[in-house]
């Protein structure tokens, strides 16, 4: 993406104007002078101000090269990272050349594992560089918080950084500051190399090299012996030494020479052999230990000569050990106690569910007649079949499944036949399609529930307002509060409260493929516990597929995946986390009510290589969706590379997200054309309020931002959120 036209650089600091091929120079303008020297002072002084077209929203950190801000590019309406050089450094000719060299070095590179530079400029005496803002956690913090990485992740991240170094080497760029804090791990599981502040390009002669002043550059925990002696002598083999020290950190949780003063560390890199990793980690295979030892050889001639040589060694190690370096390892979750009921044939309750699936699928036939904003591809991996029906009306739903013959009531004091004291006892007695009436108005603590092989309805008795605190008063012991392994559950007129999103896996409902969930006239509150209690990062109201599936993803005699089915009728969902996290195909119909969450409405992950991507189909009618992080995110990754798909029909809905957020976001390793066809959005009179953009695509190519005005299908968009007081609905007072 080309930057705006360049203006003349402010030269009031005595420096020469920038080269004509600089990415961008912003014109300065008179402002009240700011006196700041440390990174923290610069952060406080500039936070909230603008430099050129960039509004500095939040100071996020700094180092020897400058203060870094999360900012908004007001010209292109996107989030960026802006690094600002302090003024006392700006007066230093060497430091200013070094700062501009960072942008020039990064501008030479275009690789999916390297953070991209957008612009360089100055304003009001402040020099700055604008970078791609990368979501994620740096490797240093990741290891510090979670401990050393497992072997597959360590190999995967090392290969990705090596690929970035190979790309840089082919363009004659040496990074010279490889370390864990300069490697960002994105939510998609990709390692991104950032911060070219010490990078060197051959075009800079020795007379103007940033290291000619005699400075020793680099970080002492990860610096190569030759770079410590003479930074100008460092080449890609020096970066490989630093990558070896970083790999050691991934596996051991500390640098190879962690103790001693700065001088002692420099001497250790020069003279002392690093510890053997197998003495620290007995699970490190010999092949990986050998590759690590070769990376950290004192002499550059004894190391891998190019990053591609390291990549070949690591691929051989992975293949020899049978390790798929693209596979993510998940932490196993404790299983709740399973309450088994009768196991009649699933055919009776499957018939209405299949009818619902057919109706939802039929909605997509409307697209051809109405000429939507993009023609959807007719492909089996998106819709599940090549020819979709047409003309079906959206169900408004009150029709339920047939009611079983057994009448069960949960009451405070059982007095007559059919009355029981606990829901667990009722579930034990209930058969397929039985209704369990809740005849109490108090809040009851309910341990984790599991439904197997039957469809059960939990319904409020007329005149009562039952509340179930799912997972127990303390949020349970982790895992899901309600798990449906096979069969289904209907929640009718019942209020559910759960702090499950604050513990363990952070899931209220866990659905195996083929499971069914219906909520009618229900109120669901997620994670609204005591103040100061942390919310699980993967918190969700509903998890479809994943660890709870237990092989239940296919119908007997068939290899076709079974779809989860969710129906929400006049239901209110409010609280922390994301509403729906999908790892299995799913159909959802939402009619009336609202969903207000501190996360997103929907998150869909990729699928393992060789399998069709997860497809989620939504039919949304006359409902409100207020989601602080945006409506949906679709993420593929090296471990789960098959692209997820989203098909939506939204009629008369209201969608809210904070200004500056993105409504739909796609990220991962795929190509732009694949992402563009992975979402099909059909709007029928809905409203979109707040949020800064309709869609963001951040894959293997440059990030693409799609505004509401750029969508060919006209959408009713309002950049403000009228009708809400400041802070609502995100603070959950809006009931």
> If DSSP states are collapsed to H, E and C, what string results for 608-670?
CCCCCCCEEEEEEECCEEEECCCCEEEECCCCCCECCEEEEEEECCEEEECCCCEEEEEECCC
Tokens of 284: 């490190």
Q: Mean pLDDT score of the chain, rounded to an integer?
A: 74
CA distance 300 to 219: 18
For 336-395, the pLDDT digits (tens) are 334 334 333 434 444 444 454 444 444 434 333 333 322 333 322 222 222 223 233 333
Q: Which of 132-136, 246-250, 596-600, 725-729 has the highest mean pLDDT?
A: 246-250
User: Which strands make up the sheet holding 126-132, listed edge to edge?
Assistant: 50-51, 54-62, 67-73, 78-85, 126-132, 117-123
pLDDT score, position 694: 94
The strand pairing partners of 597, in sequence order, are: 575, 627
For the cut 60, the answer to whether the pLDDT of residue 432 exceeds it is yes
Find out whether 397 and 591 touch, Cβ atoms under 8 Å. Answer: yes
Find out whether 668 and 188 touch, Cβ atoms under 8 Å. Answer: yes
Name, in order, each residue with C-beta under 8 angstroms of 415's C-beta and a sequence gap of 6 or more: none
For 244-275, the pLDDT digits (tens) are 999 999 999 999 998 877 777 888 888 899 99
Phi-psi region of 723 (alpha: psi -120 to 50; beta: other; left: phi over 0): left
pLDDT score, position 731: 54
Question: How many C-beta atoms surround the C-beta of residue 161 within 10 A?
Answer: 28
Find out whether 274 and 257 touch, Cβ atoms under 8 Å. Answer: yes
| φ, ψ (nearest 5 deg) of residue 379 | -145, 140
Name, in order, each residue with C-beta under 8 angstroms of 265's C-beta and a sequence gap of 6 or more: 220, 221, 257
For 584-641, the pLDDT digits (tens) are 999 999 999 999 988 899 999 998 888 888 999 999 999 999 998 999 999 998 888 8
| Peptide bond before residue 483 is cis, with ω within 30 degrees of 0 | no
Question: How many C-beta atoms surround the C-beta of residue 136 within 10 A?
Answer: 17
- Tokens 């449906």 belong to which residue? 484
CA distance 77 to 68: 19
Q: In what helix (H) or strand (E) does residue 42 lie, and over which residues does it extend?
A: helix 39-46
Q: What is the pTM of this model?
A: 0.48
Residues in the chain: 735
């Amino acid at each position: 993406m080309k930057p705006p036209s360049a203006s003349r650089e402010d030269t009031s600091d005595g420096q020469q104007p920038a080269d004509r091929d600089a990415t961008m120079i912003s014109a300065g303008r008179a402002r009240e002078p700011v006196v700041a020297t440390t990174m923290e002072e610069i952060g406080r002084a500039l936070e909230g101000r603008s430099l050129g077209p960039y509004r500095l929203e939040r100071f996020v950190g700094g180092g020897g090269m400058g203060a870094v801000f999360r900012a908004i590019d007001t010209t292109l309406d996107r989030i960026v990272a802006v690094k600002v050089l302090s003024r006392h450094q700006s007066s230093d000719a060497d430091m200013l050349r070094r700062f501009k060299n960072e942008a020039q070095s990064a501008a030479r590179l275009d690789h999916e594992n390297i953070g991209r530079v957008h612009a360089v400029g100055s304003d009001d005496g402040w020099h700055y560089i604008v970078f791609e803002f990368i979501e994620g956690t740096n490797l240093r913090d990741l290891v510090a918080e979670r401990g050393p990485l497992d072997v597959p992740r360590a190999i995967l991240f090392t290969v990705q950084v090596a690929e970035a170094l190979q790309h840089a080497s082919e363009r004659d760029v040496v990074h010279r500051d490889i370390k864990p804090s300069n490697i960002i791990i994105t939510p998609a599981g990709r390692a991104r190399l950032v911060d070219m502040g010490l990078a060197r390009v051959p075009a800079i002669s020795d007379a103007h090299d940033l290291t000619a002043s005699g400075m020793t550059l680099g970080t002492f925990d990860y610096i190569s012996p030759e770079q410590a002696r003479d930074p100008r002598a460092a080449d890609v083999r020096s970066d490989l030494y630093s990558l070896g020290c970083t790999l050691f950190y991934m596996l051991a949780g500390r640098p190879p020479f962690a103790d001693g003063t700065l001088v002692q560390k420099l001497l250790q890199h020069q003279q002392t052999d690093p510890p053997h990793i197998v003495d620290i980690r007995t699970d490190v295979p010999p092949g990986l230990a050998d590759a690590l030892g070769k990376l950290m050889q004192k002499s550059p001639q004894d190391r891998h000569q190019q990053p591609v040589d390291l990549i070949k060694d690591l691929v051989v190690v992975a293949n020899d050990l049978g390790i798929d370096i693209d596979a993510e390892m998940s932490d196993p979750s404790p299983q709740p106690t399973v309450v088994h009921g009768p196991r009649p044939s699933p055919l009776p309750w499957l018939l209405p569910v299949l009818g619902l699936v057919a109706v939802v699928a039929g909605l997509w036939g409307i697209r051809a007649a109405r000429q939507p904003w993009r023609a959807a591809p007719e492909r089996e991996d998106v819709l599940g079949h090549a020819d979709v029906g047409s003309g079906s009306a959206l169900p408004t739903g009150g029709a339920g499944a047939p009611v079983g013959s057994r009448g069960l009531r949960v009451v405070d004091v059982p007095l007559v036949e059919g009355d029981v004291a606990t829901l667990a006892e009722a579930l034990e007695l209930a058969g397929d399609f039985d209704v369990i009436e809740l005849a109490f108005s108090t809040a009851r603590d309910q341990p984790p529930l599991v439904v197997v092989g039957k469809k059960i309805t939990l319904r409020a008795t007329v005149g009562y307002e039952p509340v179930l605190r799912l997972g127990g008063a303390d949020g349970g012991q982790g895992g899901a509060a309600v798990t449906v392994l096979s069969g289904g559950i209907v929640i009718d007129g019942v209020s559910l409260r759960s702090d499950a999103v604050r513990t363990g896996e952070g899931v209220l409902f866990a659905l195996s493929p083929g499971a069914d969930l219906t909520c009618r006239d229900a109120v669901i509150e997620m994670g609204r516990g005591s103040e100061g209690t942390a919310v699980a990062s993967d918190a969700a109201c509903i998890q479809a597929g994943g660890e709870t599936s237990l092989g239940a993803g296919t119908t007997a005699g068939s290899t076709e995946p079974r779809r989860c089915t969710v129906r929400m009728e006049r239901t209110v969902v409010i609280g922390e986390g994301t509403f729906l996290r999908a790892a299995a195909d799913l159909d959802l119909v939402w009619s009336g009510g609202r969903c207000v969450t501190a996360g997103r409405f929907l998150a869909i992950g990729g699928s393992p290589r060789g399998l069709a991507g997860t497809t989620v189909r939504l039919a949304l009618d006359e409902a409100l969706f207020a989601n602080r992080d945006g409506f949906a995110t679709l993420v593929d990754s090296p471990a789960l590379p098959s692209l997820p798909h989203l098909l939506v029909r939204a009629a008369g809905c209201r969608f809210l997200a904070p200004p500056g957020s993105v409504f739909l976001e796609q990220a991962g390793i795929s190509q732009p054309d694949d992402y563009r066809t992975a979402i099909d959005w059909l709007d029928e009179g809905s409203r979109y309020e707040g949020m800064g953009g309709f869609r963001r695509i951040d894959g293997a190519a440059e990030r693409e931002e799609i505004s509401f005005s750029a969508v060919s299908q006209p959408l009713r968009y309002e950049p403000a959120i009228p009708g809400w007081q400041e802070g609502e609905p995100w603070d959950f007072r809006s009931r």
